[in-house]
Amino acid sequence: MPADTTTDAQIAAQERRSGLRTIRKVGPYLWPADKPWVKRRVVIALVCLVLAKLVNVMAPLLFGRAVDALSGEVPDLMLGGVGLTLAYGLARLMNVGFQQLRDGVFARVGQRALRSLAIETFGHIHRLSMRYHITRKTGGLSRIIERGVKGVDFLLRFLLFSVGPLILELALVAVFLLFLLDVYYMIVVLITIAVYVAFTFKVTEWRVRLRREMNRQDTDASQKAVDSLLNFETVKYFGAEARETARYDRSMEAYEGAAIKTATSLAMLNFGQSLIITAGLITVMVMAALGVQNGTLTVGDFVMVNAYMIQITMPLNFLGTVYREIRQSLVDMGEMFDLLGQPQEVSDKPGAPDLNVTRGAVRFEDVQFGYDPARPILKGVTLRVDPGQNVALVGPSGSGKSTIGRLLFRFYDVNGGAVTIDGQDVRDVTQDSLHDAIGVVPQDTVLFNDSIRYNIAYGRDGASEDDIIAAATSARIHDFILSLPDGYDTMVGERGLKLSGGEKQRVGIARTLLKNPPILILDEATSALDSETEASIQGALKRAGEGRTVITIAHRLSTIADADRIVVLEDGQVTEDGTHDALLKRGGRYAALWQRQMQEEDAA
């Protein structure tokens, strides 16, 4: 048991530190040095807030004096009963007016902060390394951003306009009771508030742990739902609809249990709060009633005390919800800021120049690399691709073929050696310029759930319609697109599932042709296609490679027989290098692979 208590205490302390960090990070969005209009709006909103509370605290006093005037107990009041009643109504109206003005003035500040944080987080996630993304789940990431942005909205609105005003209002009520009535009234009110706040915070801390578990189960259920829907086709192949539904139901069952505990604890919190407030209210009202009986207080004073207690009861009842939501918002925002705190594994050096591609010569100099340090993939690979050459990489699975393409694109940095383009180390130039210089046609082209036009135009921002059509024509897909009812406006579905494999690949080739890069990587671009479709796409790929430096990562050796050079990789090392004919004559590893594939094709 002590171990569990220590763990909870450590978690609470960590969350407090995380909460303070989060508040510090949000601060600049409320008071940016380069945005004076934001500062002006924040100041105006705070002034409206203070005025609203001052007017609100005056309202019970006016109400009490109106009662005295109407009952004839204090006949010499200046405004009279009707005037005081009107003043009371005006005070309530002004309170609402100042609150609405505050919200209207602050709305632009809050929305700007939300937008800025959302954009910053979204952009940062895109800048994170491939290693990070392959270890995270897309559904979980999107949920973290969604909850974090909502948390910012809640924190800005309630921390500024609920907790701060509540403290101000409670302090003003205590001071008014001290000067208008007696110090004992103030003491009772302060004790009630202190007990209420202590109880609320203690129970809410416990509820936050329950809410954290509920959030964890919610994220898990969301991840399973997104993962299952993204793999809809696989689910269908294996008739696993019921299995997936049961898997999702197990996650929802755990979420249901956590949600029930959260709801039950909320009922307990609300009853405890009501008990404390009611006890304080009754105590103060009994004191006021005794004062009226012995003549030290008027009926108006009794009504005023009741109005003040009711006035502080409403925000105090809201305090538990506000505190819990603020704590939860801090947790949600903490997760988002943890994302923002994730370091970029691959980043530009300070002042890095753009890549200048003059010829397109690619060199791998004694490159060593492993996704896991304990399991090296490339073990001292030296490889040259001369300008305009088509060099094919072949070898068994796991030999490091695709890894070479990822290192050239700088999805990862090498552990040893260097990768250069025209003598420039890819680590010394900006990633944007490097990515602009390299086009990739992957084995499985993934398309956006948008039109064919959008997916082809993705190759170059701002491309004209003529450019898009020219790229589609070169990729031999223009005629097919025109045969569709909606032409280039045809929606391709999520991940391009409305198109066949060959059609998707042609769209991917057109997209890369539109980009017009000097260096091209064909990463097993046809291995997932049937022989007939592959043969038809090979022509498009050859045209795509004209005048460019091309690295072809191949599984089917028949597709690269006419490459300028063929490099055989095995166990992370280059074992053979030469033309197709030369390697066959050598009778080595390539010749054995070629013989085996020819036999398999003949048998098929």
Residue recorded with tokens 């940016």: 32
Rounded Cα distance, 204 and 60, in Å: 31
Rounded Cα distance, 313 and 324, in Å: 18
Interacting residues of 505 by C-beta distance below 8 A, sequence separation 6+: 441, 445, 525, 526, 529, 533, 537
The pLDDT value recorded for residue 604 is 60
φ, ψ for residue 153, nearest 5 deg: -60, -50
pLDDT band at residue 179 under the 50/70/90 scheme: confident
pLDDT band at residue 533 under the 50/70/90 scheme: low
* pLDDT over 50 at 175, yes or no: yes
SS3 362: strand
The pLDDT value recorded for residue 19 is 60
The pLDDT value recorded for residue 5 is 45
Q: Using one digit for the tens of pLDDT, what is the confidence trace for 90-99?
A: 888 888 888 8
* pLDDT over 80 at 145, yes or no: no
Given the DSSP bridges, would you call strands 378-385 and 362-369 parallel, antiparallel or unpaired? antiparallel
How many Å is the Cα radius of gyration of the chain? 35
The pLDDT value recorded for residue 59 is 78
Domains recognised in the chain with CATH numbers: 108-341 (1.20.1560.10), 362-603 (3.40.50.300)
Comparing 240 with 322, which gets the higher pLDDT?
240
Q: What angle do CA 67, 73, 79 make, to 5 degrees?
A: 60
The pLDDT value recorded for residue 15 is 55
Interacting residues of 573 by C-beta distance below 8 A, sequence separation 6+: 378, 379, 380, 381
The pLDDT value recorded for residue 2 is 39
Provide the 8-state DSSP code for 477.
Answer: -
Tally the C-alpha atoms within 13 A of residue 387's C-alpha that lie toward its C-beta: 8
Query: Residue length, the chain?
Result: 604
* pLDDT over 70 at 268, yes or no: yes
Nearest residue to 389 via CA among 365, 359, 411: 359
The pLDDT value recorded for residue 6 is 44
pTM above 0.95, yes or no: no
Query: Amino acid letter at 223?
Result: Q
Rounded Cα distance, 67 and 541, in Å: 91
Q: Using one digit for the tens of pLDDT, what is the confidence trace for 185-213?
A: 888 888 888 898 888 888 877 877 777 77
Q: Alpha helix (H) ranges present in 128-163?
A: 130-135, 138-158
